Amino acid sequence: MNVTLFDDLILVKLLPMEKVSEGGIIIPDTADNTNKKATGIVVEHGDGYMDMNTGIRQPITVRKNDKVSFTLGLGTPMNIEGEDLLLLRERDLDFIYGDRFTAEEIEKSINDWQNELFEIKMNSLP
């Protein structure tokens, strides 16, 4: 897909929703979707957002092919290259399914963030 997203924007391919409730009741397409949860697969994402308090770009958490949960009604429906997608902000997501990071990845991320913050402080000294 030839799309470049900015900041914390993500494109999600919506996964099919259940049409039957746990009790066996068939749910029509016209049912109220307010506050209803949906799942999707991340197709593309931006590179993060600028934290205005620190001046540091905060990296985006999701990765391509992550399965995510979000509330229906959020985001903007789009059709890109014939594919129906939903444009969301990362903060609109509820959670990512499955294990994501190893302890080493988390520690490296924290160290990178601390080093970046240290460099900003050192560069701001007279």
pLDDT in tens, 24-50: 676 655 555 556 888 899 999 998 888
CA pair distance 94, 27, nearest whole angstrom: 23
Q: What is the pLDDT, as a whole number, of residue 52?
A: 86
Beta strands in 1-126 (DSSP E): 9-14, 37-45, 49-51, 56-58, 67-71, 76-80, 83-89, 93-96
Token pair for residue 19? Answer: 């049409």
Q: What is the pLDDT, as a whole number, of residue 10?
A: 93
Answer for the pair 38, 17: CB distance below 8 angstroms, yes or no: yes
Q: What is the pLDDT, as a whole number, of residue 99?
A: 67
Q: What is the CATH code of the structural domain delimited by 9-99?
A: 2.30.33.40
What percentage of residues in the chain have a pLDDT greater than 90? Answer: 17
Dihedral sign of CA atoms 25, 31, 36, 38 in order? positive
How many other C-beta atoms lie within 10 A of the C-beta of residue 72?
15
Name the band, by pLDDT with cuts 50, 70 and 90, for residue 108.
Answer: confident
Helix (H, G, I), strand (E, B) or coil at 46: coil
Write out pLDDT tens, residues 48-76.
Answer: 888 888 888 888 888 888 889 998 888 99
